Amino acid sequence: MSATKVNKMMKDNGVKFVDLRFTDTRGKEQHVTLPSSEIDSAFYKDGKMFDGSSIAGWKGINESDMVLMPDTSTAVIDPFADEPTLNLRCDILEPATMKGYERDPRSLAKRAEAYLKSTGIADTAYFGPENEFFVLDDVRWGAEMSGAFYKVDSEEASWNAERVYEDGNIGHRPGIKGGYFPVPPVDSLHDMRSAMCLALDEMGCKTEVHHHEVATAGQCEIGCVFNTLVRKADEVQILKYVVQNVAHSYGKTATFMPKPLVGDNGNGMHVHQSLAKGGKNLFSGKKYGGLSDMALYYIGGIIKHARALNAFVNASTNSYKRLVPGFEAPVMLAYSARNRSASIRIPYVANPKARRIEVRFPDSTANPYLAFAAMLMAGLDGIQNKIHPGDA
Catalytic residue annotation: 51, 130, 132, 213, 221, 270, 340, 358, 360
Q: Where are the alpha helices (DSSP H) in the chain?
A: 3-12, 41-46, 105-119, 190-202, 229-249, 293-304, 306-313, 319-322, 368-384
Give CA–CA dist 50/60, Å, rounded. Answer: 13
Cβ neighbours of residue 128 under 8 Å, at least 6 residues apart? 224, 225, 226, 227, 232, 271, 272, 273, 356
**Among residues 161, 164, 139, 168, which one has the least CA distance to residue 152?**
139
Report the candidate in 111, 23, 19 with the shortest Cα–Cα distance to residue 366: 23
Please provide residue 37's backbone torsions phi and psi, each rounded to the nearest 5 degrees: -65, -20
Q: How far apart are CA 364 and CA 377, in angstroms?
A: 19
Q: How many CB atoms lie within 10 A of CB 131?
A: 25
| Separation of alpha carbons 179 and 293, rounded Å | 38
Rounded distance between C-alpha atoms, residue 103 and residue 86, angstroms: 26
Burial class (CB in 10 A: 0-12, 13-18, 19+), 174: buried
Among residues 7, 22, 29, 33, the alpha carbon closest in space to that of 85 is found at: 33
Beta carbons within 10 angstroms of residue 381's beta carbon: 17
Measured distance CA(371)–CA(392) in Å, rounded: 25
Treating both helix axes as pointing N-terminal to C-terminal, what angle do 105-119 and 229-249 enclose, rounded to 10 degrees? Answer: 150
